[in-house]
Amino acid sequence: MKYKVGLAIAGAFGLWLANSGTAFAQEEISTAELAVAMDTFFLLIAACLVFFMQAGFAMLTAGLTRSKNTANILFKNLMDFVMCSIAFWAVGWGLAYGTSAGGFIGTDQFFLGNVTAEGEVPILASWFFQVVFAGTAATIVAGAMAERTKFVAYLTYSFILSLFIYPVVVHWVWSGYGWLNGGDGTWGFTDFAGSTVVHSVGGWAALMGAIILGPRLGRFSSDGKPKTISGHSMALAMLGAFILWLGWFGFNPGSELAIGSQGSADAVALIAVNTNLAAAAGAVGALVTAWLRYGKPDLPQTINGVLAGLVAITAGCAYVTPVFAVLIGFIGGPLVVLAAEMLEKLKIDDPVGAVPVHLVVGIWGTLAVGLFAAYEGNTGTTGLFFGGGATLLIAQIVGILAIGLWTAGLAGAMFFAIKATIGLRVSKEEEEAGLDIGEHGAVAYPDLSPSRPYMPGASAD
Amino acid sequence: MKYKVGLAIAGAFGLWLANSGTAFAQEEISTAELAVAMDTFFLLIAACLVFFMQAGFAMLTAGLTRSKNTANILFKNLMDFVMCSIAFWAVGWGLAYGTSAGGFIGTDQFFLGNVTAEGEVPILASWFFQVVFAGTAATIVAGAMAERTKFVAYLTYSFILSLFIYPVVVHWVWSGYGWLNGGDGTWGFTDFAGSTVVHSVGGWAALMGAIILGPRLGRFSSDGKPKTISGHSMALAMLGAFILWLGWFGFNPGSELAIGSQGSADAVALIAVNTNLAAAAGAVGALVTAWLRYGKPDLPQTINGVLAGLVAITAGCAYVTPVFAVLIGFIGGPLVVLAAEMLEKLKIDDPVGAVPVHLVVGIWGTLAVGLFAAYEGNTGTTGLFFGGGATLLIAQIVGILAIGLWTAGLAGAMFFAIKATIGLRVSKEEEEAGLDIGEHGAVAYPDLSPSRPYMPGASAD
Amino acid sequence: MKYKVGLAIAGAFGLWLANSGTAFAQEEISTAELAVAMDTFFLLIAACLVFFMQAGFAMLTAGLTRSKNTANILFKNLMDFVMCSIAFWAVGWGLAYGTSAGGFIGTDQFFLGNVTAEGEVPILASWFFQVVFAGTAATIVAGAMAERTKFVAYLTYSFILSLFIYPVVVHWVWSGYGWLNGGDGTWGFTDFAGSTVVHSVGGWAALMGAIILGPRLGRFSSDGKPKTISGHSMALAMLGAFILWLGWFGFNPGSELAIGSQGSADAVALIAVNTNLAAAAGAVGALVTAWLRYGKPDLPQTINGVLAGLVAITAGCAYVTPVFAVLIGFIGGPLVVLAAEMLEKLKIDDPVGAVPVHLVVGIWGTLAVGLFAAYEGNTGTTGLFFGGGATLLIAQIVGILAIGLWTAGLAGAMFFAIKATIGLRVSKEEEEAGLDIGEHGAVAYPDLSPSRPYMPGASAD
């Protein structure tokens, strides 16, 4: 009551009391300040949801691999976010969002020094939102390199990715000064929440890592025939997938970066709906594809279909209508199933399907923006089928190629360097016994007896 | 700072600049617009919490059933939300919230076409909140029909429930035009967050499904004696229960649909407190009841007591004081234990207790509104013990009966139709071997050896 | 649109319409009311995150103990929050936040009677936030007393802690009238989110419980040599740690109690960043320490390092810069490893390391405020290395000692009383067979065969 009267008086007198001091503190807060506070709140909550994706990736990856490597893969999933938090605080954020050197790289704000933003969302809130994105890119690689990578090599790699490789890509696209998307009204590569910037970057690194490592012992028999190596817990995998789906409601809607500013609440609602529909459609797409090809509805394939739907809609979630979210997500389903087959033919061993999900579908989702964008991003252009011509589609292709070359090149060099120095892969004996014993001198489930002897390529099939 | 000065000027000049264009964008946002943005934000976050209940139901149901059926039950829990997302987008929402035909059914807004809301919470945000509710109703059935239902039958059933059976009930009660509650000031059935609309609808379908399917092999011996079939993981069940408890803080408080509008923050706080107290009281009620009857504190019974407390308070969480939330929740505890005994006597096999929790306690919670409502809902009436006479209680009974007849009738017809066409139950051989092998050609835990041979009715007791 | 025009008119006429009735409802809401609504929303969401820590503690504690005790430890983790909810509703809140009797104890608001707050965050929202804090203090003890405590004794203890021991400490520090911190501008003990008030209180009770109970059978051999007893699931432990890390983003930022009021959004962002950085630094600290001392990177130690970082920054998260958050968190890492060694030397058996994490590091975090506080709390003083002199550091030491004496004294008396009456520890036979069988007549994983016979002190090492 007292507040209403106070504001009425303040309104009549032109709100001249607005800056008169703390006695009037609550009455004087402006709607613009409230909008900023609400945006900050929104960004922090979205960041919490994205942070929780770390648990999702950990459970998914552990569930889809064998129990003799469970402690190791969980440990890696924990440590990549730990290393990322330190690296992105010290250097990564500055390279991504510091003052631009030619649209290529940021040059200040290291260790979060000198970061103030008057009347805007605090830089620290933005950092928190960005660090969990960086952590996502880093953690994607763990799955593709699971069950054979040295722990120390993994620590090194995830630190470098978060420190340098990923932040530079962010600068190119999201800094507002990048050469791929230089801000309002410019022609440019458009990736709303990171189908390419996050997922394909993780996916490219995952692909290079999987190739350079080579397949797990027993994954391909001596005559080249592939053998399925089943993951040890569908319960963990399913839990992980649900957590990831949940986290994506922070990942995509949060990338609007605002909800109190005008129009942003509508945008956030559209993004949330598109995200959910694409996930569901991706599940249907993968379920049907795998069912037709293999004769049974397959849970791990359908889980990857959910993730494919989510990755696919990430680039365009703010720009397409729900009908096209369903289409884009659905196509992700068959893509992820077929890409996994292709990898297997190429004798590339990706235990959890990280490359199909994050790289292949990440590319698809990024291209889809160029095809189906009905609403303009900051470039003022719609997609090919929505009256925008080929401009946006070409920008998407340029961005995909540039970021792919950068990431695959640097990640490849990094993995070769690691291989040549500290070593990338554990010994044959250690791989057979399990990395839990070899790397950590412990097992994940000491109370439970294994049903299969720990031998190369043993599987439940 | 600049914002404050800007607003001061705007106030002095009667805010005539308010519509003058984008250059003044942030300064001009009104408190009404901010309240709508905050309500939208609130609804989306609440929806995320309710979405996460899908993971809760999946973990709970998997934990309370045997490991030979774990992949199958997880898969069903995933797919019911997938099917629901598609069905509720295409048709369900329109039937629930489209233009009313006689208070019985909605008739437009299919595929989310033509949905705009000026100056209000975006329709898409409301859809997102409603689809996760629809998903909850659908997933309840999975538990009661676990360990013996065909995968294809399950997909079919969950699609139909989300497409038609559930949305019509929503229209009757929550659309603002329904024949059971036609809006402000009318006499009517009052179910704040869905003890009946969501939980009893799921519970009625679960009951019909469990009856038509028949009990699991070995659940009752040839002489009719019941045998307990223990769930395979108390850790998953407990995790699921905690996730559900968490999700209910979206389910109930979110049903206020607003937090920025006047009075709604107080309402939301009351609802959150009532929800938590009822859950705790339900746990105590079930713990004590089971302890007295069976001689030991029983974890699965107490978990169901938590859920009973939550279901019980769902209808009345906004209308009762905390003391009565404790009472309503507490009574849910013994109810859930005794209803499970009753089902067992009737030889109805409900592996996780979905019918006691969601149907029996859902009815109790709905009646409790008629008894203990201290604050008026949109009907302007309080409960029998709070000066409102029997009006509300009678409305509750009418609603419970009408919705029960509708749901049990249609769900029963649906399950019989499925049974007569594609078949409802797996073969005896498949049930014995486990649905994971039979339906999906895989097992959930290939690394771990089962301690009991997979035989009908095997149990740890 | 209509809202903007409405407000423009309202502004021109001095908002004299502001109180004219409900027809104008949305237009008239003031920025002060919106700020309060936003603070309420923020507090409720933060409370949900902290609530979820119950699941985190349950998974962590279950994962770090043996499978023969899993149902029992999960059950205890559930029941401590259940008992806490009832106790803190009936009595605890009133003792903590009721009208102060001499700064020592609150004296009214029992059963949440007579709680209204005009123009402020609703008392019920504050209760919801505080009850989940009380639940955290209670649940910490479960880990230290795991695998040997009677179920009834546990129920009794957790009820008393939430009813009396913890609320009085809250009154001393956070009520605004307490003798340790009496409000704005006073000299006083400063613990922003509860390194001492929550974590050390839990930790002191855990220490007293572990001492009075004695070690588990087989934990120390007859010649006094310690034997490691491995937990049964690294997957559950890791999941629990991720959930706890997530929950801490409610625990610390939520303790600002506001985000819409001026300046609070900046504070909340700083707290979130500090919390994340300290967790990461704590992980590094423990990883490196354990690696150096034991020769291998150790997952459980690193998990405890994450928690140590989080506990360490809890007291000072709002007062220190990110660089010092990294330092404070990092030091938590070695502390937790070395404190666990110390406990082992003293033959105190704390199965999950609750005392090192919550008590030892809780003390460290509280002292660190006195050393590194760069921003003033409500006492207007900074730390020793930031120009504030020793005043704050002395206050911290006084608070640590006073709260330690209170809690250790009362908890010790309580455990002795329980021991002398209903008994504190299960029988030797029950402990060997597992508390799941002995207390609940069930096992947590009936489908899975144990790999080690259930014998005292059996371990996987």
Report the C-alpha gap between A329 and C320 in whole angstroms: 45
Query: What does the mean pLDDT of chain B come to?
Result: 90
Residue of B112 and A245 predicted with greater confidence: A245
- Quote the pLDDT of residue C22: 34
Q: What is the pLDDT of residue C413?
A: 98
Mean pLDDT calculated for residue range B171-177: 95
- The yes or no reply on domain C42-440 and CATH 1.10.3430.10 is yes
Q: Which of C10, C11, C128 sits opposite B269 (nearest CB)?
A: C128
Q: Is C217 on the interface with A (CB under 8 A)?
A: no
**Model confidence band, residue B186 (pLDDT cutoffs 50, 70, 90):** confident
Measured in angstroms, the CA of C158 and the nearest CA of chain A are apart by 29
| Residue B343 confidence (pLDDT) above 50 | yes
Amino acid B53: pLDDT: 98
| Lowest-pLDDT range of A345-354, B308-317, C258-267 | C258-267
Residues B3 and A330: their CA atoms lie apart, in Å, by 45
Establish if A317 touches chain B: CB-CB under 8 angstroms.
no
Does A48 reach chain C within 8 Å, measured CB to CB? Answer: yes
What mean pLDDT, rounded, does chain A reach? 90
Asked whether the beta carbons of B399 and B366 are under 8 A apart, the reply is yes
* Neighboring chain A residues of C267 at a CB cutoff of 8 Å: none
Interfacial A residues in 145-204 facing C (CB < 8 Å): 151
CA distance B44 to chain C (A): 12
The answer to whether residue C12 scores a pLDDT higher than 60 is no
Residue B90's Cβ-count burial label (10 Å; 0-12, 13-18, 19+) is middle
Supply the ipTM of this predicted assembly.
Answer: 0.92
Q: Which residues fall within 8 angstroms of residue A251, CB to CB, at 6 or more apart?
A: A46, A49, A50, A53, A133, A136, A193, A194, A314
Chain B contact probe: residue of A15, A270, A459 with most B CBs at under 10 A: A15
Asked whether the predicted pLDDT for residue C165 surpasses 90, the reply is yes
pLDDT bracket for residue A229 (50, 70, 90): very high
What is the model's pLDDT at position B449? 63
Distance CA B22, CA B18 (A): 10
Q: How high is the pLDDT of residue B411?
A: 98
pLDDT digits (tens, 9 = 90+) for A153-207: 999 999 999 999 999 999 999 999 999 998 776 779 999 999 999 999 999 999 9
Please tell me the class of the B40-440 domain: mainly alpha
Q: Would you state the pLDDT for residue A449?
A: 63
pLDDT band at B45 (very low <50, low <70, confident <90, very high): very high
**pLDDT (0 to 100) of residue C452:** 43
Q: Which of B233, C339, C240, C238 is nearest to A440 (CA)?
A: C238
Interval C365-379 mean pLDDT: 94
For chain B, give the percent of residues with pLDDT over 70: 91
pLDDT attached to residue C222:
87
Reduce the secondary structure of chain A to three states and give it as a string. Answer: CHHHHHHHHHHHCCCHHHHCCHHHCCCCCCHHHHHHHHHHHHHHHHHHHHHHHHHHHHHHHHHCCCHHHHHHHHHHHHHHHHHHHHHHHHHHHHHHHCCEECCCEECCCHHHCCCCCCCCCCHHHHHHHHHHHHHHHHHHHHHHCCCCECHHHHHHHHHHHHHHHHHHHHHHHHCCCCCCECCCCCCECCCCCCHHHHHHHHHHHHHHHHHHHCCCCCCECCCCCECCCCCCCHHHHHHHHHHHHHHHHHHHHHCCCCCCCCCHHHHHHHHHHHHHHHHHHHHHHHHHHHHHHHCCCCHHHHHHHHHHHHHHHHCCCCCCCHHHHHHHHHHHHHHHHHHHHHHHHCCCCCCCCHHHHHHHHHHHHHHHHHHHCCCCCCCCCCCHHHCCCCHHHHHHHHHHHHHHHHHHHHHHHHHHHHHHCCCCECCHHHHHHCHHHHHHCCCCCCCECECCCCCCCCCCC
How far is Cα A460 from Cα B446, in angstroms, rounded to an integer?
A: 5
Q: Return the number of CB contacts < 8 Å for A and B.
A: 229
Task: Give the one of B18, B268, B445 whose C-beta lies nearest to C44's C-beta.
Answer: B268
Average pLDDT over residues A93-111: 95
Contact C68, C56 (CB under 8 A): no
Question: Residue A242: which of B58, B233, B449 has the nearest Cβ?
Answer: B58
**C280 and A82: CB-CB below 8 Å?**
yes
For the record, the structure tokens of C135 come out as 């639940």
Q: How far apart are CA A355 and CA A357, in angstroms?
A: 5
What mean pLDDT comes out for the span A29-48?
95
Contact with chain C for residue A454, Cβ under 8 A: no
Rounded (10°) CA dihedral B347, B348, B351, B357: -120
CATH number of A45-440: 1.10.3430.10
pLDDT > 90 in chain A, percent:
84
> Given CB atoms, is A16 within the 8 Å cutoff of chain C?
no
Smallest Cβ–Cβ distance between B82 and the set A239, A284, A322 belongs to A284
The answer to whether residue B24 neighbours chain A at the CB level (below 8 Å) is no
Confidence bin at A379 (pLDDT 50/70/90):
confident
* Cβ of residue C40 closer than 8 Å to a chain A Cβ: no
Name the H helices within B145-229: 151-160, 166-174, 201-213
pLDDT tens across A282-338, in order? 999 999 999 999 999 999 999 999 999 999 999 999 999 999 999 999 999 999 999
How many Cβ pairs within 8 Å bridge chains B and C? 228
Closest CA to A331 of A347, A315, A313, A348: A313
> What local confidence, expressed as pLDDT, does residue C449 receive?
63
Residue B20 corresponds to which tokens in the numbers above? 């003058």
Q: Are C344 and C336 contacting, i.e. CB atoms less than 8 angstroms apart?
A: no
Residue ranges of C 78-107 with Cβ closer than 8 A to chain B: 78-79, 81-83, 85-86, 89
What mean pLDDT comes out for the span C20-46?
A: 78
**Residue C459 binned pLDDT confidence (cut-offs 50, 70, 90):** very low
